Amino acid sequence: MSLDQYAAPAVHLMVNGQDMTIDVAPSKRLLAILREELGLTGPKRSCEIGRCGACIVLVDGAPINACLAMAYQCAGKHITTVEGVAQEGEGELDPVQRAFLEEGGFQCGYCTPGMVITVKALLSHTPDPNEDEIEEALSGNICRCTGYGGIKRAIKQAVKWRNGY
């Protein structure tokens, strides 16, 4: 008998600003709930061991690997996926998203949602990061296409826009 066969308790979440209560089997990871139950495909399924960063989301403002977090552990928390990053109600991209587009911060795009979330988290607590802080922030994200040049340019451009210069 698998854990999925037991009654799934209801869990209250706030996902991208929307209040919701969903039934969550004890064995379900946050990534599965986001993608399969809620249809949010920004967080990607890739390594499933927390090394690549493709599944990173914000939980109460902190970046976490959704492939490692059990969904029930997120009860009562605020979860932000890349789908929730664009400026609410304005129909405009967030400066980080716009910088990734304008500076060529992606190639195939698979890692981009996790990168954008990671950069949002970095800039929320370090508004003007230096090169070492950028390197440290990106250490949990793997991009196999770009060589990181465009990604770093995008971060620097987002910093300029956010800081008004």
- 105 and 64 inside one domain: no
For residue 111, what are the β-bridge partners?
none
Whole-angstrom distance, CA of residue 103 vs CA of residue 154: 5
Among 66, 115, 63, 64, residue whose Cα is nearest residue 94: 115
Residue 78, token pair as written in the block: 């605020």
- 70 and 99 inside one domain: no
Quick one: how far is CA 3 from the chain centroid? 27
**Residue 163 phi/psi, 5° resolution?**
-95, 5
Q: Which domain holds residue 33?
A: 3-84
List, in sequence order, the alpha helices (H) in 10-140. Answer: 30-32, 95-102, 112-125, 131-138
pLDDT tens for the chain, residues 1 to 165: 555 556 678 999 999 999 999 999 999 999 999 999 999 999 999 999 999 999 999 999 999 999 999 999 999 999 999 999 986 666 789 999 999 999 999 999 999 999 999 999 999 999 999 999 999 999 999 999 888 999 999 999 999 998 887
- 15 and 57 inside one domain: yes
